Structure 1
């Protein structure tokens, strides 16, 4: 059987008791390590679980899944996922391969906290969120703006938008690849400030004011950990926000932000007076 086990968001102790039981008896244990990362090293997990963990990078999961699934029709294989098992489509694809295997491989999943639910710590109601979007690192020649259209659709309904920020783990250096060498770039994690700057850049091009300088937003970092950070303000203010170490996410507030949501979020504001003024001018009364 393949067990897809959610690890939660912070450290080795966020795994469920049921999930931990499976990990300690499974024939092999894999850790998916590219759609998200825990806030502790692999060695910490291994010490807590009392057994070795095989790191499953993008290449292994997407191109060599047969190695992960080998023998899983007869033995127990644990596949560990940061957050919740099905927060990323990669894991749905792995489950489909189990169904299509000959013979089929049984699957069991253990859910856990993910950013999709933990973002409720901002005080913004999960019922008032629209489509989740992703923000990738811009380059000088590549600045994809499809996220803006999804945000615009959410904004038309007055809904909040959760923006998931890009991470680069074990990314090959393209110049080295062109010379026939495999060299990996150092890990990179997008910050709230970088995301806010890129949002402003596209908004200035589109001139729709969907995520303009005075749009209210909330930046979060390391949700679920002992040192989580939540900061609220305008998009412009968040371009200078320092929330420390990864992982970061950003929420663009919808115009239907309820008074109770405002009351809670304002407690995280960089400039509470400014935050209140913009909310009363642009957001209050849109429910």
Structure 2
């Protein structure tokens, strides 16, 4: 029958759009994943909001056992709840592709995501370059993710801002914090020695976007490293060439 990809929005169940909530309530079966984005919600609150029982899926369920979603979608209206916007995480594109191949109708209900929320930092969206993610080192035998460094350098050379996502491992309840992110950036600089990320470099931390206690920090790395930025989720932005309006806005958040 149909498979709906439903964006939950940025922070909690209250970020669902009216359309997202209406569609979720009308579905015969609801699934949700929490592995692509940390959200401040639990399954009970989400079930209370939608009025439905919801099954939590792991990354392995979705990527290796997609039949759990596709089989019931042949005859029922199935909803797949996803943090942020459904296709900001490319892991879900293959699922939709497979559904279409099987003649299952698919629909997308978009939600707010970090990619729209970064406008809150005052940076011009058209001046962002490639997005990168700092992964947990233990995923790669404690090796430094030097490809991340190269992408940041490419952006800086072009005068573009770099949005840096920090890794999560929801199944292990691991969420990279500010300290880990900064240490990895500085360790990459020590290895590459191209002086694009130093303790005197100014960076932006945007924490808990979408919540009532979201915060923007703008300062030199050495100063931010000394501060307690609170709990994840958070992202880092390394600014490129700043327009005067961007500079003026960011100065409001510099202490």
TM-score, shorter chain, exceeding 0.5: yes
**Separation (CA, whole Å) in 2 of partners of 1:97 and 1:25:** 23
What 5-or-longer segments of structure 1 have no aligned partner?
171-184, 271-287
Note the C-alpha offset of 1:153.
0.8
Report the CA distance between 1:192 and its aligned residue: 2.0
Which one scores higher on RCO, CA 8 angstroms, separation ≥ 6?
2
Rounded to whole Å, the distance in 1 between the matches of 2:33 and 2:133 is: 19
Tell me the equivalent position of 1:268: 253
For residue 228 of structure 1, report the CA deviation from its aligned partner. 0.7
- Find the counterpart in structure 2 of residue 154 from structure 1: 155
What residue is the counterpart of 1:143 in the other structure?
Answer: 144
Aligned twin of 2:77 = 76
Q: Which residue of structure 1 aligns with residue 111 of structure 2?
A: 112
Q: Per-residue deviation at 1:100?
A: 2.0
User: Which residue of the partner structure matches residue 37 of structure 2?
Assistant: 36
Deviation for aligned residue 1:217: 0.8
Matched, 1:219 2:218: no
Tell me the CA shift for residue 77 of structure 1: 0.5
Tell me what 1:8 maps to: 9
State the 1:238 CA deviation.
2.5
Larger Rg: 1
Kept in 1, the 8 Å contact 2:38–2:170? The answer is no
User: Contact between 2:130 and 2:155, CA under 8 Å: does it hold in 1?
Assistant: yes
Q: 1:143, CA displacement in angstroms?
A: 2.0
The 3 A distance-change label for structure 1 pair 141 and 196 is: closer
Residue 234 (1) aligns with residue 220 (2): yes
Query: 8 Å contact 1:194–1:239 — kept in the other structure?
Result: no
Q: CA–CA distance in 1 between the matches of 2:191 and 2:91? A: 32
Gaps of 5+ in 2: none
TM-score norm. by structure 2 comes to: 0.95
Query: Take 1:141 and 1:122, find their aligned partners in 2: how far apart are those partners?
Result: 32
Aligned residues: 252
Partners of 2:223 and 2:148 lie apart in 1 by: 21
1:192 pairs with 2:191: no
Q: Map residues 92-103 of structure 1 onto 2, 5 A cutoff.
A: 92-101=93-102
Alignment deviations for residues 197-226 of structure 1 (CA, whole Å, 9 cap, x no partner): 110111121111112222111001110111
Report the TM-score, using the length of structure 1 for normalisation: 0.85
Q: Is the 8 A contact 1:30 1:79 kept in 2?
A: yes
